[in-house]
Amino acid sequence: MTCCEGWTACNGFSLLVLLLLGVILNAIPFVVNLVDEDEVFQNPISCFERWFPGIVGAGLMAIPATTMSLAARKRACCNNKSGMFLSSLLNVITVIGGGYCLLVSFQALWEGPLICNSESNSTLSCEISLRNLTVHHLDSLNLQWFFNDSCVASTDFNNPYINDTAIRNGLNFDSIENKHRIIHFSVYLGLLLVGFLEILFGLSQILIGFLGCLCDGVSKPRRNQIV
């Protein structure tokens, strides 16, 4: 295995780990909601898990490049110029998927969990629009909903999730509000890192794939030498 194939196999293994991590993180809000409510979309933690940033963006869109890169370990399809070039092209999809995961996660962190933005706490108030992904910038990121004692005003007595106990206890699982805040922050911060790393590994493979094509840095079958 040459250095190009070794780097490709390393990228493939890294993408596989990130792919599985993204799917697991994206599934956590659904599992929590299913356990608490016995229905997946009854009272979601946020609207953004339904965008499937980890399952689709960091997951499904990374499968082709991951499979192709892991094949280099067995010299199945990345041991020639066309294979390395195809690996580079497939990683373009990975970069797009990682970018989608990163943007959705950033938007989710900017807005906070649904319980901090809607009294109804249901999918009826969710507005899914791709236009919203590019509205905010890094300097507008505000995590006060997470660091404050409560993200819901104490005068809002109509909200069933806010009470004096939740305010006194701070960040813990003693109230539904705090539980949703902690899960939301942990899930989307993790997905933000997953999307960022997938972009880096995808760009890395695009680079090494083209270098493998240009420099002929791929493996060649060895011939038995008769002494």
Q: Using H for helix, E for strand and C for coil, what is the string for the chain?
A: CCHHHHHHHHHHHHHHHHHHHHHHHHHHHHHHHHHHHCCCCCCCCCCHHHHCHHHHHCCHHHHHHHHHHHHHHHCCCCCCHHHHHHHHHHHHHHHHHHHHHHHHHHHHHHHCCHHHCCCCCCHHHCCCCHHHHHCCCHHHCCCHHHHCCCCCCCCCCCCCCCCHHHHHHCCCCCCHHHHHHHHHHHHHHHHHHHHHHHHHHHHHHHHHHHHHHHHCCCCCCCCCCCC
154-190 pLDDT, tens digit per residue, is 444 444 444 443 344 455 556 788 888 889 999 999 9
Read off the pLDDT of residues 33-62 as tens digits, 9 standing for 90 and up: 888 766 655 667 888 888 899 999 999 999
pLDDT at 131: 60
Confidence at residue 215, expressed as pLDDT on a 0 to 100 scale: 66
Q: Quick one: pLDDT at residue 128?
A: 60
Q: Which two tokens stand for residue 71?
A: 């094949």
At residue 168, the pLDDT reads: 41
How much is the pLDDT for 57? 95
Are the CB atoms for 70 and 13 separated by under 8 Å? yes
Provide the residue-wise pLDDT of the chain in tens; the chain has 227 residues.
Answer: 445 677 888 888 999 999 999 999 999 998 888 887 666 556 678 888 888 999 999 999 999 999 988 887 665 555 567 777 888 899 999 999 999 999 999 888 888 888 877 555 555 556 666 665 555 555 556 666 776 767 765 444 444 444 443 344 455 556 788 888 889 999 999 999 999 999 999 999 999 888 877 765 454 544 444 43
pLDDT of residue 83: 73
Tell me which amino acid residue 131 is: R
Residue among 122, 112, 133 at smallest CA distance from 184: 112
pLDDT at 197: 97
pLDDT of residue 139: 52
